[in-house]
A = this chain, B = another copy of it.
Amino acid sequence: MPVTIRDVARASGVHISTVSRTFSAPHLVNPETRVRVLACAEDLGYRPNRAARALITGRTHNIGLIIADIANPFFPPLIKAAESQARHRDYHVFVADTNEDAAAEEELVHALAKQVDGVLLCSPRMSNSLIEQLSREVPLVVVNRQLAGLPCVLMDVGQGARSAIEHLAGLGHRQMALLAGPRGSWTSRELRRAASAAARAAGADLTVLGPNPPTETGGLAQAEQVHRAGVTAVLAYNDLMAIGLLEGLDALGVRVPQEISVVGVDDISLSRLTRPKLTTVATPTAAAGRTAVDMLLQQDTDLPRTARGGGATVAVGVRRTTAQVMLQTELVIRDSTGPGPYAGRERPGTAAAGPGPHRRADPGNPVVAAGDVVAS
């Protein structure tokens, strides 16, 4: 029933190899023949069987996309961008969800390895060493994790945290809390590192609460803790947690931003819809998706998959380019942050943020810190 290359060949009176070339190397076939073949193919509704093609070329034209949680609104823009970028290059995307589980992650990489040309690992929860190990099984691009020797797409949440803390300090806050993210998250560590340093520089105290699940519930559950800690400003690991916190504080009768200021990270579309609207560190998720796909496909064209032909395939030192791309973030000031108890009594050296809300700019050009590494 399914129409194969053979049917087309028969219908157009040429050999199957000519049909094959009509599609994969058109310049090698006579224009007249080509149009005839194409007409027949169109007519019969022929579509090349990708499995068969994959078998011989070693390329499936699929890429895997492993993410922690589709339900987190942070990811869909990334997925959409990755998908559309992939589609442009005639690739398809396999999306898989790990439910924030490191074990599921490993399992999925294995399962995907043989049926994709590469995997995008987004916000992994696995250990670095495990990721490195898996990268020997299938080409990997890692998003939101820095890993020497592997291509990474990073968002500069450190800079974002710094801006957020400076913004808060500028508003006169001295007692702050950081709602940490899940264990195993590079972003969370990065956030914590940068926020601590920035707080110290601004002469403010920073209490770290967590780790927490990166969800509304995670934020909600910490509301009381935050309240008891006596802080006047909070930076949350992501917007979802910030929103949960907003909920929880509201339930406790704590007013935002009058009593406590809240800052999120990600700038998901939801953050414009809460009351008060959320001040947040915008991360360029779509750009990250696009960039990651590009890097994977780049890497992929570098190293040909099938070593057919001649006997002992002497591995002459495959050259793997492992660029690391750092994408910029930006603080978007809305209504969930306001003056703290020390407002007006600012310390010198802490830059006061301008009064008007920043509008989020274009994702901007990636700051590329490329490095070449020669692997075996």
Question: Which partner residue on chain B sits nearest A307 by CB separation?
Answer: B1
In the assembled complex, 28 residue pairs joining A and B whose CB atoms fall closer than 8 Å, in A order, are A1-B307, A2-B114, A45-B137, A47-B114, A48-B114, A49-B55, A50-B115, A51-B54, A51-B60, A51-B114, A62-B94, A62-B115, A70-B76, A70-B80, A71-B80, A76-B76, A80-B97, A80-B99, A83-B97, A92-B96, A92-B112, A92-B115, A93-B94, A94-B95, A95-B95, A243-B273, A247-B273, A270-B270
What's the minimum C-beta distance from A139 to chain B, rounded to whole angstroms?
13
Kindly list chain B residues whose C-beta atoms are within 8 Å of the C-beta of A49: 55, 114
User: Which residues of B have CB within 8 Å of A270?
Assistant: 270, 273
Q: Give, as a whole number of angstroms, the nearest-CB distance from A271 to chain B.
A: 11
Does A73 sit at the interface, judged by CB under 8 A?
A: yes
A79 within 8 Å of B (CB atoms): yes
Q: How far is the CB of A111 from chain B (nearest CB, A)?
A: 7
CB contacts (< 8 Å) of A112 on chain B: these are 92
Which of A97, A99, A247 has the most CB atoms of chain B within a 10 A radius of its CB?
Answer: A97
How many copies of the chain does the oligomer comprise?
A: 2
Bound CA–CA A170/B358 (angstroms): 46
Chain B residues whose CB sits within 8 angstroms of the CB of A274 once the complex forms: 273-275
6 shortest interchain CB distances as A-B pairs: A95-B95, A71-B76, A51-B54, A70-B76, A51-B51, A275-B275
A62-82 toward B: CB 8 Å interface, digit per residue (1/0)? 100000001101001101100
Task: Kindly provide the distance from the CB of A367 to the nearest chain B CB, expressed in whole angstroms.
Answer: 27
A200 located at the interface, meaning its Cβ lies under 8 Å from any Cβ of chain B in the complex: no
B55 and A110 contacting across the interface, CB-CB below 8 Å: no
Judged by a CB distance under 8 angstroms, whether A288 is at the interface is: no
Residues A18-55 near B (CB distance < 8 A):
45, 47-52, 54-55
- Which among A80, A83, A273, A313 has the greatest number of chain B C-beta atoms within 10 A? A273
Q: Report Cα–Cα, A275/B111, bound state, in Å.
A: 43
A312-353 interface bits toward B, Cβ cutoff 8 Å, 1 = contact, 0 = none: 010000000000000000000000000000000000000000
Given contact pairs A70-B76, A71-B269, A83-B97, enumerate 13 new A-B contacts (beta carbons under 8 Å). A1-B307, A45-B137, A48-B114, A49-B55, A51-B52, A51-B115, A52-B55, A73-B73, A76-B76, A94-B94, A216-B269, A273-B274, A274-B275
